[in-house]
Amino acid sequence: MQLLKIHDAHEIYNVEGLAENEAFDLFRLKAFKQRKPEEEYLDLSNQVVKYCAGLPLALEVLGSHLYGRSIKDWHSAFGKLNSFPHVDIFETLKISYDGLDSMDKDIFLDIAYFFKGSLKEYVINILERRGYHVEIGITTLIDRSLLTINNKDSGEILEMHDLLEEMGKHIVIQESPDDPSKRSRLRCYEDIDLVLTQNKGTEATHSIILPNFFYEKQCAVRWRDLTFSNISQLKVLILNGFNVPIVSYIPCSLRVLHWTNCPMETLPFIDQYYELVEIDLGNSSNIVQFLEKLKFLWLGNCSRLKQFPDLSEAPKLEVLCFQGCDELNDFPSYLTRHKSLVKLILKNCSSLETLGCKLEMSSLKELDLGGCKSLRKLPEF
């Protein structure tokens, strides 16, 4: 794509995948040499065509691979595909990945492993605070046909072909096929459970994100006392909704922490050298100690929070959200002079009575006081 742009191409045509009937015809050509598949092969043929999702390369490789084989071999081969991609497809798709620089490779793997189908804005926010230059990285991935943008009513959605997603996951797993503690990323509940309950973490792991669909498995969670003491390079930790009684250690390297409905009263932030840039503890009733590099803090709908946490040691704070914290009352005087705060959301803080006499926030651009029905008067600005 970039090559065409450099040479001022008059128009660039985006080649779509094959339609289902075209895909089936191509597969049949390779797997049966134009013969109509026998009845016993028909269902598996449809499954293989669906797996290839319109990609001619995959249809040709798998069709040729299955030609002349027994139905038992077909079942075995398709079962293997679900855990290990065909080497010819994998190596061909990986050519574009191999041409990326190290940061763009990391962005691709993060999206393939964690964020396919997520809002672009959400992913950019997390990965930028992780330390990546994401906007240009996403553009590069799109130019190399490793990523697409799907515009929906909810916003721009990051998408990629299923086989590219599978390739990305396979690359991560192959970092250490038999020991998940030595992989850069963890998302599978069983792998995270093994690493944390046995305290097997290593410096290799930098992102732990538990997918939302594991919430329903909380009844099976055996975590009692979590420690990340061995995962010393952890950058991103997202455990939204999980009920863990105790966390005894969080590494200083952590930059992004999302834990909505966090059940604990405190989190072990005990070191002044934390790298945390963003904390999201929405819908939690907890107070935590905050840190020097913190820029974004969400404590929305923490309905039992009765006073503002001490943010006097957070001079770089830019966004502060206490929406729906209906037991908060007095606004701390030191925050009225905060020089970095850009957005302050106090919507539906129904017990808040005053913001002080004067706000001297030189960077403030947005202040939301909707639903603050106990507020007696506005301060001077």
CATH classification at residue 110:
1.10.10.10
Asked if the model's pLDDT at residue 292 lies above 60, the reply is yes
Average pLDDT (292-301) is 82
Residues 122 and 96 in one domain: yes
Residues 33 and 63 in one domain: yes
Residues 96 and 158 in one domain: yes
Q: Is residue 35 part of a domain?
A: yes
Residues 98 and 162 in one domain: yes
Q: Is residue 101 part of a domain?
A: yes
Q: Is residue 73 part of a domain?
A: yes
pLDDT in tens, 110-132: 999 999 999 999 999 999 989 99
Residues 111 and 162 in one domain: yes
Asked if the model's pLDDT at residue 241 lies above 80, the reply is no
For residue 59, give its domain range.
Answer: 20-83
Angstrom distance (rounded) from CA 158 to CA 225: 35
Which whole-number Å values give the CA distances from 312 to 168, 284, 316, in the listed order?
42, 21, 10
- How many independent structural domains does the chain possess? 2
Q: What is the overall mean pLDDT for the chain? A: 86
pLDDT in tens, 75-94: 999 988 877 888 999 999 99
Residues 77 and 100 in one domain: no
pLDDT in tens, 33-48: 877 888 899 999 999 9
Residues 99 and 159 in one domain: yes
pTM recorded for the entire structure: 0.79
Q: Give the pLDDT of residue 220.
A: 47
pLDDT in tens, 150-162: 998 889 999 999 9
- Beta bridge partners, 295, equal none
Residues 53 and 71 in one domain: yes
Angstrom distance (rounded) from CA 291 to CA 274: 7
Q: How far apart are the first and last CA of the chain?
A: 50
Question: Where in the chain does DSSP place strands (E)?
Answer: 148-152, 155-159, 185-186, 207-209, 225-227, 236-238, 246-249, 256-258, 278-280, 296-298, 319-321, 343-345, 366-368
Q: Is residue 370 part of a domain?
A: no
Instruction: Specify whether the CB–CB gap between 212 and 242 falls below 8 A.
Output: no
Instruction: Specify whether the CB–CB gap between 200 and 224 falls below 8 A.
Output: no
Out of 112, 147, 166, pick the residue that ends a domain: 166
Out of 31, 62, 83, pick the residue that ends a domain: 83
Q: Is residue 295 part of a domain?
A: no
Q: Is residue 136 part of a domain?
A: yes
Residues 69 and 131 in one domain: no
- Band (pLDDT 50/70/90 cuts) for residue 287 is very low
Q: Is residue 160 part of a domain?
A: yes
Asked if the model's pLDDT at residue 350 lies above 50, the reply is yes
Out of 113, 132, 166, pick the residue that ends a domain: 166
pLDDT in tens, 132-152: 999 999 999 998 889 999 998
